[in-house]
Structure 1
């Protein structure tokens, strides 16, 4: 009864919204396209029991019946979590028109991706999956299954939907950033997303003669550190492919509540950690497109309350919000501490440092005070990817050696890559404290690091090439470090070393075993939480206070003092200093000669 009442109220609320839109249409030649969109519904994987989806389907159907305008429902990314998580019944009930895969779905290579699409095809009411700029890797033996998926329509290049007498063309592209992150995944290549968008939108407009063109993209827009402006690849799609009417973007933890445009094309974006569906009303006419309304449809009432105590998924209790605010992230600090703790528990060898790229934190558990973070919430915040050679869909931990010179390069990621590339490239770490000098040249701003965060000289870390340090990271971070030179013009070329101190050839050889099983990032986090003290004696571990306001293990200065400017310089910086000094001498010599000549004439 309670759910039915809430469903009725939502329908009434949507009736008012659409009535306003329809009244506006009466005096306007605009066509209106209504869009309901999400990106994975990942927030619902923490739920154990879902009520019947009949009430929700009634709500969605009511939206279509209320408005005379076409309604399209689309999902962007996270198919693997939908298929493996508790939110699949909810996803089925929504009866999406279309969906596209994202980074996690493709990360394991073509073989795993084909298996995922085949599993999706066996599910009742699973929407068509589209990906326009995916191309088979003709150099790999795995290309045939990709081609076969396109031929048998288990994977589509584009779709044409019939809605309320209108034809809606839909296509989907992965952004260049995601393509770069998939560069070590085997079995496929990708066409440039802007070129693919141009070709697909023109084909749909002139060949299929559709009324609306919708582009799904897994790239996203966000705000870079210290900036108020939205940036990202999505902002250029409308400029490069002006025939697109609406862009629906995913692949980010950032929810767009602003009316944002790519050139003149509306951009809609849902985050991976929201408890509602997003609804947009977009007016389209010959003069352009305009977002009239952005609304959220709450879904939390459809989720049964989960009791972690009875479901065997006890997590931890936190008396404060466990935030992931950069650069002082309590959650990131806890995860890297967990990695260091797990590997040191499993082996007799001491590991010095732990590294984790912020890309791995897909959602953040931010509880109210005195609330419980269930295990499923912890697991939901981490990647769910299938890596060839590993049984479960989670990220293995790996251990390797770094020499002092490469350790300095790894630490440069936060000072030189993160400010340019955004939050995904912030590097959480445990076991050391770092000082940066922003007055130095890019890729050489690390001036000092101390072991364990200590302040004495005895804690100093050497950046000499002969020094060796044992490091643990997750699989994804290790792969990013291996290709970091590709996005830094070769400056941050980092070599991961094996026990013998030679180049690590296979990352799989660096995994860590405990009781014969590979240690995974998610399990390390869960086990670490179990080790916390139970302060209030309720049989639930409590998150330590040091994660409330994590001590800054990063110190940033801007100084031209010699002791700060010339400390631990790289070869490039030394060369630039010498060249600058010689140029200064040459300039001074020219000035002296000119002064002498002027004096001689006088």
Structure 2
């Protein structure tokens, strides 16, 4: 008996000594903010994943599948594949998710194991993401969801469908797995800013990660005996342009909870060529759209990460795509053609025209961008062409989701136009926020421009682009006194309180809904009352949707991405036999003039 006990003790000793003395390796592949870019980023017509060396597009699930399969084949016991949220929303593929759940099944097929939620997963509401997940589960396997700071509302039934997925463990607050002898805990969180821009996530709440994760990480380290804790964080951070380095939520979180070993970050679309280290916590992010695959190789020794190597693998034309995955994606395109595009007279491959230069949004310097004014002009053209005549159009930088890069040939197709203005869904179930129209007085136009020019100076999602209106300001003047002149259709209007004439504003319904909230947002300092064409206050924005074809029953909604497609198609045809965006759009936004300068 004593001999047996001695042998067991010796075995346990040597097992522990082996765990301490020999480095255990782990390979983590990860993405964030994929945004349904199943066919990559770049001109859609140039994406050719089954042929190498012939295009400049980035990303694409066929290429991603090849890289993931190679890693899994080489070292299946050491490889872990993860995503940090916002895997949905951003291409025509997300349109079909509620009905098919296609992307989640595809993610599982190409190798994803654990994923978390981003703010855009809730764009269509809590019930819709629940339905997407359930539909995908009914059709096959999906990655395991991890959400550690998701809190359900006990008084509301609106999140009950999603809560059933928590109950059946489709969504878990954490997982503990073993890879290559390492005990790994994986947790997930939606950050403070991400939740603030996810209004449709109600009645869910997402408490500040630092307030929730501290106790959880301690439990995982002490009770679950996790060697490594990995956080899938849809919180993000930004580069410090002046002082160098980075700042933001994930770095702050690492300082508050140093026991988190690795933070795979998302939300801010930042690409880290090298890892960031805060204490003993490693933080990385891949950018967006699966243009790069994050690749971590680490060694764990003597109870800690002894070596951490990180690089970004370009997902580009040098990689031959997986044929089976490419076929699956192409079949989904056919489904989208038949189900969603044929009814509005389009096909996925229809060509709008071409561009000889990049049409883009520079989020660091929004004034030095040409996309916003281009979209605003497109809306104006589209509505006038449909027999409407708004006085001016507005477009928010925050709703512009992608550029129109020149690429190799400059050809712009339906999916390219859609990706620029891909947010929202109309009451007609056609993707894209519907265009709407409200009316304000001449003096209210002046007050609105005071607020909007102020927002432009701050930058960010609230930066507004205009068409049909030009504003002259004097930046030396005081609060609400900067706007000196407003011109509509080239003519100055009376901006005094005497002018009660109504002027029409067209924009997507999401943006227009904010005009009525200016009083609340300005603490009562600025009051603007959106009105209908008869001058009555607007109580329901749905009543203000623009009907682009009054000859048909019901409201035929207008969409910004269709406006963009039609506008490009309207330009003169050149020697390339397609319409070409004129060079005048190389210029940046000139709708606001500072008289001081």
Q: Judge same fold: TM > 0.5, yes or no.
A: yes
Residue 400 and residue 184 in structure 1: after superposition, are their counterparts in 2 closer, same or farther (change >3 A)? Answer: farther
Q: Name the SS of the counterpart of 2:83 in structure 1.
A: strand
- Which residue matches 2:377? 337
Taking the aligned partners of 2:292 and 2:121, their CA distance within structure 1 comes to 23
Q: Name the SS of the counterpart of 2:383 in structure 1.
A: helix
- Which residue matches 1:531? 570
- Which residue matches 1:571? none
- Which residue matches 1:177? 193
* 8 A contact 1:437–1:557 mirrored in 2: yes
Taking the aligned partners of 2:523 and 2:277, their CA distance within structure 1 comes to 32
Does 1:509 pair with 2:518?
no
Of 65, 77, 81, 2:86 maps to 77
Taking the aligned partners of 2:84 and 2:252, their CA distance within structure 1 comes to 21
User: When the two structures are superposed, what TM-score results if normalisation uses the length of structure 2?
Assistant: 0.75
* 8 A contact 2:439–2:502 mirrored in 1: yes
Superposed, 1:307-346 pairs within 5 Å as: 312-325=349-362, 326-346=366-386
Compute the displacement of 1:470 (Å).
Answer: 1.0
Residue 298 and residue 144 in structure 1: after superposition, are their counterparts in 2 closer, same or farther (change >3 A)? Answer: closer
Q: Name the SS of the counterpart of 1:530 in structure 2.
A: helix
Deviations for 1:35-66, whole angstroms, at most 9, x for unmatched residues?
32232264444478865989865642443535
Q: Name the SS of the counterpart of 1:514 in structure 2.
A: coil
User: When the two structures are superposed, what TM-score results if normalisation uses the length of structure 1?
Assistant: 0.75
* 8 A contact 1:136–1:189 mirrored in 2: yes
Taking the aligned partners of 2:526 and 2:308, their CA distance within structure 1 comes to 42
* 8 A contact 1:70–1:166 mirrored in 2: no
- Which residue matches 1:365? 404
* 8 A contact 1:42–1:380 mirrored in 2: no
Q: Name the SS of the counterpart of 1:423 in structure 2.
A: coil
* 8 A contact 1:280–1:291 mirrored in 2: yes
Taking the aligned partners of 1:262 and 1:468, their CA distance within structure 2 comes to 56
Compute the displacement of 1:163 (Å).
Answer: 1.9
Please provide the CA RMSD for this pair: 4.0
Compute the displacement of 1:440 (Å).
Answer: 4.9
Taking the aligned partners of 1:217 and 1:250, their CA distance within structure 2 comes to 6
Residue 104 and residue 58 in structure 1: after superposition, are their counterparts in 2 closer, same or farther (change >3 A)? Answer: closer
Of 309, 312, 318, 1:295 maps to 312
Taking the aligned partners of 1:311 and 1:518, their CA distance within structure 2 comes to 20
- Which residue matches 2:136? 120
* 8 A contact 2:373–2:467 mirrored in 1: yes
- Larger RCO, structures 1/2 (Cα 8 Å, 6+ apart): 2
Does 1:497 pair with 2:527?
no
- Which residue matches 2:509? 475
Structure 1: 5+ residue runs without aligned partners? Answer: 1-25, 560-602
Taking the aligned partners of 1:386 and 1:160, their CA distance within structure 2 comes to 37
Residue 254 and residue 32 in structure 1: after superposition, are their counterparts in 2 closer, same or farther (change >3 A)? Answer: same
Of 101, 106, 110, 1:94 maps to 110
* 8 A contact 1:181–1:480 mirrored in 2: no
Q: Name the SS of the counterpart of 1:159 in structure 2.
A: strand
- Which residue matches 1:565? none
* 8 A contact 2:298–2:305 mirrored in 1: no
Compute the displacement of 1:185 (Å).
Answer: 5.6
Structure 2: 5+ residue runs without aligned partners? Answer: 1-19, 52-60, 338-345, 550-554
- Which residue matches 1:392? 430
Superposed, 1:100-179 pairs within 5 Å as: 100-179=116-195
- Which residue matches 2:32? 38
Taking the aligned partners of 2:523 and 2:567, their CA distance within structure 1 comes to 38
- Report the more deviating stretch, 540-549 or 508-517: 508-517
* 8 A contact 1:136–1:147 mirrored in 2: yes
* 8 A contact 1:397–1:512 mirrored in 2: yes
- Which residue matches 2:6? none
